[in-house]
Amino acid sequence: MTLRSRLLLALLPLLPGPVALGVTPVDPLPPQTRTAVSALAVKGVSTTRATEWVRRLTDEVGPRLAGSAGDRAAIAWGLALFRELGFSNVRAEEVPVTAWERGVETAAVVSPFPQELVVTALGGSVGTPGEGITAAVVEMKTLEALEEAVKADPDAVRGKIVFLNRRMARGRTGPGYGATVPARSSGAAKAGPHGALAVLVRSVGTSTSRFAHTGSTSYVPGGPRIPAAAVSHADADLLERLLARGPVTVKLVLGCRSLPPAVSANVLGEVPGRERPDEVVVVSCHLDSWDLGRGAVDDGAGCGIAIEAARLIARAPRRPLRTIRVVLFANEESGLAGGTGYAARHAAELPKHAGAFEADSGTGAPTGFSWSAAESLGPALAAVAELLGPLGAGTLRAGGHGGADISPMAFAGVPLFGLSQESGAYFDIHHTADDTFDKIEPASLDKGAAAFAAMAYAVADLPEIHARPAVPAAHGAR
């Protein structure tokens, strides 16, 4: 999930709290809907093909950074698979993306003791000169501390490498992803105008292994652009200890650079609706990944869930009322061009979107759904959730944006659904070289695919579209 998606979440108007869900005299699910949903939910306790799709994507394509050769291979892979699965209206809808490549990346403490550091460039960072940048390191715990420091001394970071050193906590205590990610996403933008030469950020992630966690960073338009890299925790610890003793000089070499604008694409396929094929429920994930690992957990897992959910629905004895459209979004990690492109291209069609689902929370067991829709949808969701209880996926949480790629549809009132998953280990491998197929939990993906299929089927099969109330236009500004 990107910072942008976190921010969108913050911008969303407050949604109704948990709906009071007493026993209703009338079943909110039509009988045949209930039958179909039950049958789909049951699939979660047997082996589905969800893991197979992740394995094929990661083995046959591997990393797929937006605009790269891997990205193009992934699009071709998705189109071929959708045709193999018999989906209808299989197509790629192109979106323009910025492209960037990594290149060499090394860092070392020069003094007081020579030590190599494990670093990785942040996505979108400029590179250093070929000979690198060698400078004294100044440590700041947070961006707020940086602001304070330059207020007190305008030259506090001038000519230096700023080390943003705040540890992301695992679990629910201490600063989590949302609290630590600003250092990554805007550390360079904040430090550059004060004359800093580069930024090193303690990895935003919880790996206990010596990996650096990448992720996007951005600059202020027209502002200075200084190189930015993440440091592994073990190496950030070393810097912290050395800085506690005295001055530290580091050499940083980054060969990363922006490439000419490129083209990527959302990959779409459909299971046409039984009666209202022009009405749509999107089931989605993002197809792109960072370049360091193979994008198995982020978001190969979500693609396995979404593709398998669509396949399970396609094989159901009775198709839902509306069309299921599976969308593999482009460019979630570094621009959200896929999500914004979809919302723009399909703007006229969004009022006929009964829902949009995204799976982008890794490989953990499903726990339920977040949802943002009209309150009137609550009873039907509760009825489905009850059927998902045996899978452990029966918890509903009102609110949220569903997922980064579908969040641009919020402003058209499209009901949004996010698959909630156990995510204790998610940030251990998030955006690292360690995001590989061996981390996938097949039984959890089976449950996730079944839960996704069941809930999407229900939303696609209800008599009405429960669109959210209109959102003031100002909130729609991106």
* Chain residues that interact with a second copy, rule: CB under 8 A: 55, 59-63, 69, 112-116, 118, 207-211, 233-235, 237-238, 241-242, 293-294, 433-434, 436-438
Q: Name which of 63 and 394 has its Cβ closer to a second copy.
A: 63
Burial label, 35 (beta-carbon count in 10 A; 0-12, 13-18, 19+): middle
- Least CB distance to a second copy at residue 292 (A): 9
Amino acid at 298: D
As a three-state string, the secondary structure of 176-221 is CHHHHHHHHHHHHHHHHHHCCCEEEEECCCCCCCCCCCCCECCCCC
Of 177, 130, 133, 136, which is closest to residue 156 (Cα–Cα)? Answer: 136
Instruction: Quote the CA–CA distance of 205 and 294 in Å, as a whole number.
Output: 17
β-bridge mates for residue 454, sequence order? none
Q: Name which of 27 and 113 has its Cβ closer to a second copy.
A: 113
- Least CB distance to a second copy at residue 434 (A): 5
Q: Given 105, 308, 332, 358, which residue is catalytic?
A: 332
- For the stretch 304-317, what's the b/e string if a residue is b when 16 or more beta carbons lie within 10 angstroms of its beta carbon? bbbbbbbbbbbebe
- Least CB distance to a second copy at residue 429 (A): 8
93 given a catalytic annotation: no
Q: Name which of 131 and 438 has its Cβ closer to a second copy.
A: 438
Q: Name which of 61 and 459 has its Cβ closer to a second copy.
A: 61
- Least CB distance to a second copy at residue 371 (A): 35
Q: Name which of 273 and 300 has its Cβ closer to a second copy.
A: 300
Residue 1, Cα to own-chain centre: how many angstroms?
A: 3
* CB atoms near residue 103 (< 10 Å): 12
Amino acid at 187: G
Structure tokens at 233: 């925790």
- Least CB distance to a second copy at residue 84 (A): 16
Write out the catalytic residue numbers. Answer: 332
